[in-house]
Amino acid sequence: MALDKPYKDIPGTTIFDADQARKGYYLNQFCMSLMKAENRERFKANERAYLDEWPMTEEQKQAVLARDLNRCIELGGNIYFLAKIGATDGRSFQFMAASMTGMTQEEYAKMMLEGGRSPEGNRYIGEDK
Amino acid sequence: MATITASVYTSHVPAIGAALDLGKTNEPYWQPVFAGYEPSKKWFAENTPDVIFLVYNDHATAFSLDLIPTFAIGTGPEYPPADEGWGARPVPVVQGHPELAAHIAQSVIQDDFDLTIVNRMDVDHGLTVPLSLLCGQPQAWPCRVIPFAVNVVQYPVPSGRRCFNLGRAIRKAVESFDQPLKVQIWGTGGMSHQLQGPRAGLINREWDNAFLDRLIADPEGLASMPHIEYVREAGSEGIELVMWLIARGAMSDRPPHVVHRFYHVPASNTAVGHLILENR
């Protein structure tokens, strides 16, 4: 029986469930390796070579190289793991979050200061905005 | 006998730790956040327990995808602050309480909750940011801490009901420990926030405040809320709030004394919520 996924109707949201975790195992474990300073240095020195040490899919590697976090999540990445890439780049969590919304960092920061993204119109896919 | 004297609930946003560590607490952005914890610091200084049982979640730090315990109790003597990718926070090493932790593990496991026992792990911002918020920046943390990590990263995560009942089992365990220790239980994480995808930045002030109201007055009813409501209403990372129910379940059945309540938006991507409840 397939996993019950009641969360599939929430817009702009990917729940990190067992299917996603299986797909993203090596992508996330690569991210985990960036918690060691020497690995961060090696990754920064030659990203492609470092990625090639991991049995990730080519799509996953391209998504990492492009810092396309939405694509990384689609391919099984989880944000707490992917945050290690941002940390390696010296980016804040807010920078990373903004990068997934189609807003500039300034626009995103302003939205947060004004109380954040409203749940109105953002609860169900296809809900009237 | 050991007793649970109070419970503390707080968000554990990493940027709050960074603001503290980099001396930014008086900047206009951060000042209102830290001002909300001033009464808490004063209260904590006057009511420092012997041990904090600190419920938090590991954010892909000590636990990778190789090992995902649903509930993990730290029974070791000490826990260093983790390097989460930005370098380790300049905060003291956390001193555990192996005897009390082992007693709680035995009691709670025999009460049918299958805990994972951890003797060595690094602790991330989920544990150290709450300590910083209430204790400031001391050379050593003022009391022992038992880390209790809950999986809220990979689904399935434990239900609110399970967490609440686990809290009750922890209360029973603490109260059967034969040393006269004062124990606080802290529940951390939340409140509304979403860190991923096009819906990142979601904040639900109304829902958060209703959660705080119910946590105080109707925790058992609140415990029946399904996961999907947390995610839909409070964002994908709002699910961390189930951890607050562990702390609340460990409190007495009598209505608590509300010492302090605080809510502020934003800290980075997150709504900051904070409560201190004392047992009467």
Q: Which domain holds residue A97?
A: 90-120
Would residue A2 count as lying in a domain?
Answer: no
Identify the pLDDT of residue B252: 97
Nearest to B257, CA basis, from B224, B237, B280? B280
CA distance A58 to A65: 10
In chain B, the percentage of residues whose pLDDT exceeds 70 is 100
In chain A, the percentage of residues whose pLDDT exceeds 90 is 92
Query: For residue range B150-163, what is the model confidence (pLDDT) as tens digits?
Result: 999 999 999 999 99
Give me the residues paired with residue B202 across strands.
A117
| Mean of per-residue pLDDT scores for chain A | 95
Would residue A54 count as lying in a domain?
Answer: yes
Q: Which amino acid is at A45?
A: A
- Are A24 and A64 in a shared domain? yes
Nearest to B215, CA basis, from B173, B184, B256, B162? B256
- Is B97 a known active-site residue? no
Q: Round to the nearest angstrom and report the end-to-end CA distance of chain A.
A: 35
What is the domain count for chain A? Answer: 2
Would residue A33 count as lying in a domain?
Answer: yes
Identify the pLDDT of residue B186: 98
Residue of B84, B154, B197 lying closest to A70 (CB–CB): B197
CA distance B130 to B165: 23
Inform me whether the pLDDT recorded for B80 exceeds 70: yes
Q: What is the mean pLDDT of residues B255-264?
A: 98
CA distance B223 to B98: 30
Inform me whether the pLDDT recorded for A1 exceeds 90: no
Query: For residue range B187-222, what is the model confidence (pLDDT) as tens digits?
Result: 999 999 999 999 999 999 999 999 999 999 999 999
Q: What is the mean pLDDT of residues A1-27?
A: 94
Would residue A75 count as lying in a domain?
Answer: yes
| Mean of per-residue pLDDT scores for chain B | 97
CA distance B274 to B172: 25
The string over B206-218, giving b where at least 16 C-beta atoms fall within 10 Å of a residue's C-beta and e elsewhere, is: ebbeebbebbbee
- Are A46 and A107 in a shared domain? no
Which residues of chain B have a CB within 8 Å of the CB of A25?
65
Identify the pLDDT of residue B33: 97
- Are A28 and A80 in a shared domain? yes
Task: Please give the structure tokens belonging to residue B146.
Answer: 């038992």
Identify the pLDDT of residue A129: 53
CATH code for the domain of A44: 1.10.700.10
Identify the pLDDT of residue A2: 81
- Is B193 a known active-site residue? yes
- Are A66 and A82 in a shared domain? yes
Every domain of chain B and the residues it spans: 3-278
- Are A58 and A29 in a shared domain? yes
Inter-chain touch A29–B195, beta carbons under 8 Å: no
- Are A21 and A83 in a shared domain? yes
CA distance A123 to B84: 32
Would residue A26 count as lying in a domain?
Answer: yes
- Are A80 and A95 in a shared domain? no
Would residue A10 count as lying in a domain?
Answer: no
Identify the pLDDT of residue B88: 92
Query: For residue range A93-111, what is the model confidence (pLDDT) as tens digits?
Result: 899 999 999 999 999 999 9
Inter-chain touch A112–B203, beta carbons under 8 Å: yes
Identify the pLDDT of residue A128: 59
- Are A39 and A65 in a shared domain? yes
Identify the pLDDT of residue B23: 95
Chain A closest-CA separation from residue B191 CA (Å): 13
Query: For residue range B81-138, what is the model confidence (pLDDT) as tens digits?
Result: 998 877 899 999 999 999 999 999 999 999 999 999 999 999 999 999 999 999 999 9
Burial class (CB in 10 A: 0-12, 13-18, 19+), A45: exposed
Query: For residue range B214-245, what is the model confidence (pLDDT) as tens digits?
Result: 999 999 999 999 999 999 999 999 999 999 99
Phi and psi at B192, nearest 5°, equal -60, 130
Query: For residue range B124-143, what is the model confidence (pLDDT) as tens digits?
Result: 999 999 999 999 999 999 99
Which residues of chain B have a CB within 8 Å of the CB of A73?
196-197
Cα B253 to Cα B111, B159, B183, B216: the distances in Å are 19, 20, 17, 11
Tokens 């007495």, residue? Answer: B252
Residue pair B41/B57 in contact by the 8 Å Cβ criterion: no
Would residue A68 count as lying in a domain?
Answer: yes
Inter-chain touch B154–A83, beta carbons under 8 Å: no
Identify the pLDDT of residue B85: 79
In the set B97, B103, B193, B274, the catalytic residue is B193
**What is the 3-state secondary structure of chain A?**
CCCCCHHHHCCCCCCCCHHHHHHCHHHHHHHHHCCCHHHHHHHHHCHHHHHCCCCCCHHHHHHHHCCCHHHHHHCCCCHHHHHHHHHHCCCCHHHHHHHCCCCCHHHHHHHHHCCCECCCCCCCCCCCC
CA distance A43 to A51: 8
CATH architecture, domain defined by B3-278 = 3-Layer(aba) Sandwich (3.40)
Would residue A57 count as lying in a domain?
Answer: yes
- Are A107 and A82 in a shared domain? no
- Are A80 and A60 in a shared domain? yes
Identify the pLDDT of residue B86: 78
Residue of A17, A36, A78 lying closest to B60 (CB–CB): A78
